[in-house]
Amino acid sequence: MHNFRELNIWKRSIKVAVATYKIAATFPSSERYELTSQVKRAVVSIASNVAEGAGRNTDKEFNHFLGIAIGSSFELYTQLIIAGELGLVAENLLEPVLSELDEIQKMIRGFKETLKIN
């Protein structure tokens, strides 16, 4: 098992979640149950799956949850691009989050390579 609180992937995912929630709070109320809900679920899924995987018994299980986390990061990335295209979020707020998501995705890929999977 790994201590998820010591993993930079988890720490950075938490920061992205906070930034994304702040962005989602600016969406119009008409999006509350649509894009806003989807964005929040996707961003929470990233850090949550890193934590859940870290608590599993084997690196193989951890690898599986890291795969889900990276999938959620791509889902979020896509949703934020859509929000930007719809004019729901300013580019100066969007770009730092998208850039951080790129870094988190690289970190997850790199970390997955270090796991001992039989």
pLDDT in tens, 97-113: 999 999 999 999 999 99
The Cβ-side half-sphere exposure at 75, using a 13 Å CA radius, reads 18
The neighbour count for residue 82, using CB atoms within 10 Å, is 14
Residue 1 pLDDT: 76
58-80: burial string, b at 16+ Cβ within 10 Å, e else: ebebbbbbbebbbebbebbbebb
Q: 43-96: per-residue pLDDT in tens? A: 999 999 999 999 999 999 999 999 999 999 999 999 999 999 999 999 999 999
Say how far apart CA 95 and CA 21 lie, in whole Å. Answer: 15
Residue 94 pLDDT: 96
Query: Where in the chain are the domains?
Result: 4-114
Contact 49, 68 (CB under 8 A): yes
CA-based R_g, the chain, Å: 15
Question: Considering all CA atoms of the chain, what is the largest pairwise distance in Å, rounded to the nearest integer?
Answer: 48
User: What fold is seen in the domain 4-114?
Assistant: de novo design (two linked rop proteins) (1.20.1440)
User: Is the whole-model pTM more than 0.85?
Assistant: yes
Average pLDDT over residues 10-27: 97
